[in-house]
Amino acid sequence: MNKVIAVVVLSVAAAMAGDVTGTWTGTFKVSSGDHTIPQVIVLKQDGNKLTGSASGRRSFDV
């Protein structure tokens, strides 16, 4: 589920911004608890191509 949310957020950000290259940080609130999980997304934009990776509790390529 987090992967789907991240892809949607990144797609919207890419459409709205000129260049989203960089390191983005944030947190996700845990639905079953009272704590948050830090997230780091590293992006590289080359024209219309957007690549990168995300890490937190689970890591994956974007």
Percent of the chain with pLDDT over 90: 3
Give the CA distances from residue 28 to residues 17, 18, 20, 31, in Å, rounded to whole numbers and listed in that order: 22, 26, 20, 9
The pLDDT-based confidence of 23 (bands split at 50, 70, 90) is very high
> Could you give the CA distance from residue 7 to residue 16 in angstroms, rounded to a whole number?
14
Q: What is the rounded (10 degree) CA torsion for 17, 20, 23, 28?
A: 50
Give yes or no for residue 41 having a pLDDT over 80. Answer: yes
pLDDT of residue 61: 62
Q: Going by DSSP bridges, is the β-strand pair 36-46/49-55 parallel, antiparallel, or unpaired?
A: antiparallel
Give yes or no for residue 17 having a pLDDT over 80. Answer: no
User: For the chain, which residues make up each domain, given as ranges?
Assistant: 2-61
